[in-house]
Copies of this chain bind each other. A is one copy, B any other.
Amino acid sequence: MVFSIVEHFRLSPWASEKITEYEKLFKYFGIKPFTEVLSKLAQITEPHMLMRRGIVFGHRDFEKVIEALKERKRFAILTGLMPSGKMHFGHKMVIDQVIYYQKLGAEIFIVIADAEAYAVRRLDRKEIINTAINEYIANYLALGLETHRLHVYFQTNYKREYYRLIQLFSRKVTMAELKAIYGEDLEPGKIMAIFTQLADILHPELPEFGGFKTVLVPVGADQDPHLRLARDVADRYSELGFERPAATYHKLMTGLDGGKMSSSRPESYIALTDPPELASRKILRSLTGGRATAREQRELGGQPEKCPVFEMLSYHLIEDDNELMRIYDECKSGRLLCGECKLRTREMLVKFLEKHQERLEKVKDLAKQIVKQPNF
């Protein structure tokens, strides 16, 4: 079952305009197809639906995670959040994976990128801290993140060994290298953010933070440059016991308006705290993979592989692979038109949001308690 659905989806979304981007990652940057490791993972445990559906499409060294799972060795997940704007469904994808690994026994490290938010994005400090806790961390908990084996920290409020890494790493990375990865326009805030992120990715390997020899960083496909640099730096600091972190790569969600899903355009996303009525309106107005006319669609079938509404279903709202495939087939065959599909989706979405927002109210205090806030 698992494999059929991957095969099913694999061909379709890669037939979209994004194909070249993802294939480039395999071809030029050495990311490997996740399908390679999926069956091995399936022998140990049920893969996450994002994996089964090829949305998590690539990896580096995921074999280490499989080995850790198989041999019941400790492993850690590192993820980060940019504390700006609202948490939307594009952000949710990472946390869903994190929660999946937490249930499998992983230790979770979540970095709040507040130093970067302040120095690069130039946001207000108080606003940053408030957003991180009340918008992001609270939503994470409401989604099911547990507080055991969980470390949430602000970049500006952590242990000294973390900062030591930032300082030490600066010796073995050159400006030429940074410019090749991040572009010519490197202001001090950006440079500081890059080194801070290197420490984020690598610090769980230090004894002071648990000494994890297997660290996995699940990221969106656009984050690979950071990972490549972190893996290189790990090699350069093998004297400190560093090994290369593993990574998985997932596809990025398409915005409801067909562009990038972005915090800066509210019409492109649905936030986890959007009132259900607002979310309803957004989904009903969403672009779809439908044809110009109903007649045409009945004849040619819809195009779920380029449909933001279908993404909401496959990335988030439908857990059952069979159910999802039924909708996929209905759409493809032209039996299901967009209007009807949107109504179904809206129903699932509203149900999800109502439940989620109920849980959110209950964990807001907890969110404040589990993170040590910087005092300025």
* A contact set with B: CB distance below 8 Å: 115, 118-120, 122, 155-161, 163-164, 166-168, 170-171, 173-175, 178, 186-189, 191-192, 195-196, 208, 240, 374-376
Contacts and interface: CB of A to CB of B under 8 A. Distances in A.
A189 B196 CA distance: 13
Contact of A171 (B122, B158, B195, B375): B122
Max chain B C-beta neighbours (<10 A), residue from A157, A166, A376? A376
A374 B155 contact: no
A174 B192 contact: no
Closest 5 CB pairs of A and B: A119-B171, A115-B167, A163-B163, A170-B192, A156-B164
B163 A188 contact: no
A161 B374 CA distance: 8
A376 B164 contact: yes
A296 B167 CA distance: 57
Q: How many copies does the complex hold?
A: 2
A113 to B, nearest CB: 11
Contact of A188 (B120, B173, B187, B376): B173
A305 B173 CA distance: 46
Contacts of A187: 174-175
Contacts of A159: 160
B160 A188 contact: no
Contacts of A374: 160, 164
Nearest to A173: B188
Contacts of A120: 171
B188 A166 contact: no
Contact of A155 (B118, B158, B161, B167): B167
A192 B189 contact: no
B174 A188 contact: yes
A156 B161 CA distance: 8
A119 B115 CA distance: 21
Nearest to A185: B175
